[in-house]
């Protein structure tokens, strides 16, 4: 998305807007955010091992919360999970009625 794209007006985050204007894709921006978030989570977890009251505003930092944030960020960036036809998964058994 370039700076003249009318969708740029819909981007509320100034940092994301700056990245788009510099030619990055939504997925590249999401990847940078995910790496930063995981690094912050690791730093908070390490600090809380020493003092559990450290970084009270960060939240619980649970695996579930982190996974939700990552998936939400990827979906916001335009990523979509592949169709099940593209995956090498076993067939779902059907119940004989």
Condensed to tens digits (0 to 9), the pLDDT of residues 4-35 reads 666 666 666 676 667 677 777 778 888 888 99
pLDDT at 62: 83
Average pLDDT, integer, range 38-58: 91
Residue 85, in any domain of the structure: no
Average pLDDT, integer, range 49-77: 87
pLDDT at 96 over 70: no
Residue 41 near residue 61, CB atoms below 8 Å: yes
- How many domains are contained in the chain? 1
Residue 93, in any domain of the structure: no
Domain that holds residue 56: 30-79
pLDDT at 63: 83
Nearest CA to 55 among 42, 65, 73? 42
Q: Share the mean pLDDT of the chain.
A: 78
Residue 60 near residue 43, CB atoms below 8 Å: no
């Amino acid at each position: 998305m370039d700076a003249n794209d009318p969708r740029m007006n819909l981007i509320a985050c100034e940092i994301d807007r700056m990245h788009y204007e510099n030619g990055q894709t939504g997925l590249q921006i999401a990847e940078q955010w995910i790496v930063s978030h995981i690094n912050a989570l690791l730093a908070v977890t390490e600090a809380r091992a020493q003092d559990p009251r450290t970084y009270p505003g960060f939240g619980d930092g649970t695996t579930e919360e982190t996974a939700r944030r990552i998936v939400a960020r990827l979906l916001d960036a335009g990523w979509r999970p592949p169709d099940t036809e593209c995956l090498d998964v076993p067939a779902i058994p059907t119940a004989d009625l």
